[in-house]
Chains A and B, each alone.
Chain A
Amino acid sequence: MASEREFSAQTLAVLAALCSEASAWRHGYDLARQTGLKSGTLYPILLRLSDRGLVEACWEDIQPAGRPRRHLYRLTSDGLARAEAELARANTAAASSAALGSAARRRAAAPGWRRLAGEGR
């Protein structure tokens, strides 16, 4: 089921950026600067999130002078709940993998015989 699939790191970055100002409408270049993503990566992510109903999009109401109207994005209520859950899960996973990584590094640093003898346990 696609909607249950875990999000990619880039998608999580976009969700985190949108979460940081959940009620505000954000435009694409603003999000690109915050996440460091290029337009070819950012917009497909926004598009998929919009398809899933996690992000809502609209055009600026008034026509600004000297530039075209911009497309704006914001998390929906479902999107906000899902984003918070996914970000929390990602943080937990990152913390546990960091702990596992440090344990593995300690084991790798130990001499072979010690590992065989089970010192790293």
Chain B
Amino acid sequence: MTQQLTRALAWMLRRSARALPAGRREWGEAVWAEAGQVPAGWSRWCWLAGGLRLVAREAQVTRRIAYGLGAVLVAAVVAWAAWLSWQRALPGDADRLVDRARVIELAAVLAVLPWVSRRRGVFGPGGSSAVMRLLRIGGCAALCAMVVSVVHLDQTAPGRRVGDHEPGGALGNFRLAGEARDLALLAVLLTVVLVLSAGRRTRVAAVLVAIAGCWVLFWFGPFQLCTGLYAAGILAATSRRSELTAVSLGIGAAAGAACSLLVGLIKVAADLPVQPGGLGGLAIAMNLAHLGIVMPVLLLVTGAVALVAARRTPAAGSSDDVRQIRASGPGEPDPVRTPEWPRVRQGLGAGMAAGTIAGLMITILVGWWPVLFWSPLFAVIGALLGAVAGAQLAPPESRLNGSWMGGVFAASLRKPGHAPADGG
């Protein structure tokens, strides 16, 4: 029995070591090769188990399992959404066909995103901090939930339930070719922007192409564009090349979630229904009413978040600048080394993160899906105002002064004769 277990562990170690990349394989084999020297029994089992741990660590087995589970989860959600959109659909039901297209688009976006995020560029690879990983995963999950929520709304909204509509009617605005064209346009736009942004000199051109492309796409497939933009925004903000700090993103995401909860509470307190679709008088009135609630809350929250993020950001841009300033002491602020732009940028990023999360969460929790289109606009306005105010209100070098003075204080405590515990 003992020998069999040892043999089994050794076999597993040798087999699994082969799965390691070429530069790492020999390390797994090294543990296996030395197992014979270790006394038989418990010690040898521990030795071989340690080798298996090494292989699992080097092969990033935990991460692979997590990603695999995540992929299965996303596939399950997409399948559920597809089932929701397909169930008992009658021919000629335009809403359900549009829902199918949305689900297919979500599946396409989620299939492409992991590939895109692994490329070196604007969207990847992903940032290494836990906040960024959490936001990346949470953002994709929220996108899934958002599409499921919109599909579910279409299924259950008054006048749209199965049996409520007129069977055998026309296909409405749905055109399969049109949906495919919108997806293709989105893919082309993404590719052009990625290619252009790869060269530093053409970054401005990439931004211009992106703006023009979004403008054109908005008239063809606003929902497709919206989903794609949200996904691109989440990836770009959480990529390794992102200029935003994990703290700014964390503050923004938390505020966005709080904002959606606040809107949800207002909805419950005011007993407001989910707005009906279409362009009738009631729908327009309700859209305006919802807009009247969401707009001030979003402006307030994104502005406040941007202000906080901008104020707590050092005026110096890079960490090298910060180190230089810390090394040289507070002194006179150098206008070249301490531009206000980093503060505005962090504030804007935090505000946009709050607006993005709020837009997704309000759609998921409250069901007011037009917020998806409006929230980025409100977020830009609120965040810009808050970031500029925060950058202006923040005293120059306040944070650096605080850190530097803190360091001086800490150093003074270490000096003999200044120890407060003993000083009495």
Contact = CB atoms under 8 A, between A and B. Distances in A.
A39 B51 contact: yes
Interface string B398-424: 000000000000000000000101111
B31 interface: yes
Contacts of B57: 44
A43 B37 contact: no
Nearest to B33: A68
A27 B34 contact: yes
Contacts of B422: 107, 115, 118, 120-121
B54 interface: yes
Contacts of B32: 68
Nearest to B30: A71
B194 interface: no
B53 to A, nearest CB: 4
A47 interface: yes
A111 interface: no
B223 interface: no
B26 interface: yes
Which of B24, B32, B34, B46 has its CB near the most chain A CB atoms (within 10 A)?
A: B34
A7 interface: no
B138 interface: no
B34 A40 contact: no
B50 interface: yes
Given A40-B49, A40-B53, A67 B26 contact: no
A38 interface: yes
Nearest to B57: A44
Contact of B27 (A47, A70, A115, A117): A47
A29 interface: yes
B424 A39 contact: no
B31 A39 contact: yes
B243 interface: no
Contact of B38 (A29, A42, A43): A29
A82 interface: no
Contacts of A117: 424
A40 B26 contact: no
B36 interface: yes
Given A28-B30, A38-B46, A44 B38 contact: no
Given A43-B27, A43-B31, A118 B424 contact: yes
B50 A71 contact: no
Which of B24, B33, B58 has its CB near the most chain A CB atoms (within 10 A)?
A: B33
Nearest to B13: A39
B50 A43 contact: yes
Contacts of B423: 118, 121
Contact of A68 (B26, B36, B49): B36
A116 interface: yes
A116 B48 CA distance: 57
A39 B24 CA distance: 15
B230 interface: no
B368 interface: no
B123 interface: no
Interface string B28-64: 0111111011100000001111110110011000000
Contact of A43 (B46, B51, B419): B51
B47 A43 contact: no
A57 B31 CA distance: 13
Contacts of A67: 33, 36-37
Interface string A33-51: 0000011111110110000
A97 to B, nearest CB: 14
Contacts of B26: 57, 59, 71
- Complex A-B, nearest 5 residue pairs according to Cβ-Cβ distance, in ascending order: A40-B50, A39-B50, A71-B30, A118-B424, A40-B53
Interface of A: 27-29, 32, 38-44, 46-47, 57, 59, 67-71, 107, 115-118, 120-121
13 contacts: A27-B34, A27-B37, A38-B47, A39-B54, A40-B54, A42-B50, A43-B30, A43-B54, A47-B24, A67-B36, A70-B33, A116-B424, A121-B423
Given A39-B34, A39-B54, A115-B421, 6 more contacts: A43-B30, A43-B51, A44-B54, A67-B36, A71-B30, A121-B424
